[in-house]
Amino acid sequence: MKNENIRLRFAPSPTGPLHIGGVRTALYNYLYAKKKGGTFILRIEDTDQTRYTEGAEAYIKDALAWLGMTFDEGPTAGGDYGPYRQSERKEMYAQYAKQLVDQNQAYYAFDTSEELEKARERAKERGEHSMKYDSSSRYEMRNSLTLSKEETTALLEKGENVTIRLKVPKDEIISFEDEVRGKVSFNSNELDDKVILKGDGMPTYHMANIVDDHLMKISHVVRGEEWLSSTAHHVLMYRFFNWTPPVFAHLPLILKPSGKGKLSKRDGAKFGFPVFPLLWESKDEDDYLGFREAGFLPESLLNFLLLLGWSSGDDVEKYTVDDMIAKFDLNRIIKSGARFDYDKAKWFNQQYIIESSSSYLLPLVKAELAKHTISREDDFVLRLIELMKERVELLPEFYSKSTFFFQRPTSYDEKGVRKKYKVENQNHFDALSHAVESLNSFTSLELEKLVKAYIENNELSFGAIFPVLRIATTGSMQGPDLFGTLELLGREEVLIRWKAFFQFVNPKG
């Protein structure tokens, strides 16, 4: 049943590729909206034109689409509360900023960058860490609180360097309830007078964010912990406007594999794992590989991210998306940082690969093979998938762990040959080759029957025959089921390989 009162937004800024932490934020918003029969909204927060990055919005949408997180309202989906791109809403914000000025809860500031620099120097001389534009310093600055009405009007008419700043009250405790952390309080003296409207008429994040959350009737704000202190400013603004704030839930940091410090985009390159969902090709920096290119299935990435900051309280680890929607709740989000464990991510992927139907995997594996210019019939690839499924953690391994299907061995496992091949058994290998040549139906079942019966009838051991046939076929001691491998290679190919191997180990034979 649709619940009109539950509305959650994912509000990324298109400043680059979406980090895995952002994907987790999207997921939690999506799951909660779905769970409650509510609406999931994509809002593009692009008010900071200096950080705008070409292609980032498309990347965000592609990532959400790959992961199956369809938004109900957004820049392309439309909806009753649009536009959903803040740059297209520019005109809406100024009146709210001015309302706060009229209410004496914000003020015009005209400081030039030189004046701000001077203020910073003064602060330094006083031994302060950095200059804070706040209740202690605002009366030393050039703003509508320190200038006369006439001067202010004149400067406003001139229109140079005009910003609007929030007038944060002195000596107040600002508190709010957070679904994850409980009661959170800030001393207002720690908060600066944030710019809410910039010189170019664009709102800052804080202004645009709360105006839009209000106008779009957002019921729950679920976002990363780094926004916690901004929430104090936001709560203040909600009070000034006399608006009801949404429910807040701040998600824990995602930590480096060592558990020390926040996972950064550089960690991906450093440790050799992806920290972005999709490939990001950049003009000025190195490209970043994504989970998709590393060979993850979208559902396994979702499952991994679900547990990176949330726990059901029992030890269930695997969740279908429907299970996630049923079980997810904001009050089980974990407070402490969540350690990024790539092995765990791969483990999830392996489980999902094993459980996926071969027909689902077919196009994905064909794409992997195509990267190596290999194109095979669907039937062949399906059988390859069946054989390899349990041995693969990442999709590219469907090729890298099965190259012997596409190339004859060029060398043989030396130790294996030394230990397992006995020249006195060569007559048996010759007999087996003959029997295989004339076998009626070349299937794994018949091959297995034949080889096993031969071993038993001749009182041989499996260990003397199986490993040798495997090395002869693939060059190595490891691999998927031997008889399945033989069947997939086909009789002609198997006999060619065996012949080559026995000539190699026993050239005079």
Q: Which stretch binds ligand GLU (CB under 6 A): 10-18, 239-247, 382-390, 421-429?
A: 10-18
SS3 of 186, please? strand
Q: How far is the CB of 486 from ligand GLU (least distance, A)?
A: 55
Distance CA 368, CA 509 (A): 41
Interface residue with ligand GLU among 12, 21, 74, 252 (CB under 6 A) is 12
For ligand GLU, the closer of residues 227 and 380 by Cβ is 227
For ligand GLU, the closer of residues 51 and 449 by Cβ is 51
Q: Give the 3-state DSSP-derived string for 362-377, with helices as H, strands as E and coil as C.
A: HHHHHHHHHCCCCCCC
Binding to ligand GLU by residue 45, rule CB under 6 A? yes
For helices 491-505 and 426-437, give the axis angle rounded to 10 degrees. 160
End-to-end CA distance of the chain: 77
Binding to ligand GLU by residue 13, rule CB under 6 A? yes
Q: Which of residues 156-215 bind ligand GLU (CB under 6 A)?
A: 205, 209
Among candidate residues 35, 98, 265, 452, the one labeled active-site is 265
Q: Which of residues 206-245 bind ligand GLU (CB under 6 A)?
A: 209, 223, 227
Q: How far is the CB of 11 from ligand GLU (least distance, A)?
A: 4
For ligand GLU, the closer of residues 220 and 497 by Cβ is 220
For ligand GLU, the closer of residues 140 and 177 by Cβ is 177
Angle at 46 between CA 281 and CA 167, to 5 degrees: 140
Has 265 been annotated as catalytic? yes
Counting residues that bind ligand GLU (by CB under 6 A) gives: 8
Q: How far is the CB of 13 from ligand GLU (least distance, A)?
A: 4
Binding to ligand GLU by residue 11, rule CB under 6 A? yes
Is residue 370 within 8 Å of 406, Cβ to Cβ?
no
Q: How far is the CB of 29 from ligand GLU (least distance, A)?
A: 9
Structure tokens at 421: 């091949």
Distance CA 407, CA 176 (A): 64
Q: List Cα–Cα distances, 311 to 97, 257, 306, 315, 421, in angstroms.
A: 41, 19, 8, 9, 53
- Which residue in the block uniquely carries the two structure tokens 């100024």? 94
Distance CA 34, CA 324 (A): 10
For ligand GLU, the closer of residues 11 and 184 by Cβ is 11
Query: Which residue, 75, 68, 83, 55, is CA-closest to 27?
Result: 68
For ligand GLU, the closer of residues 7 and 223 by Cβ is 223
Q: Which of residues 63-122 bind ligand GLU (CB under 6 A)?
A: none
Catalytic site positions: 265
Binding residues (CB under 6 A) for ligand GLU: these are 11-13, 45, 205, 209, 223, 227
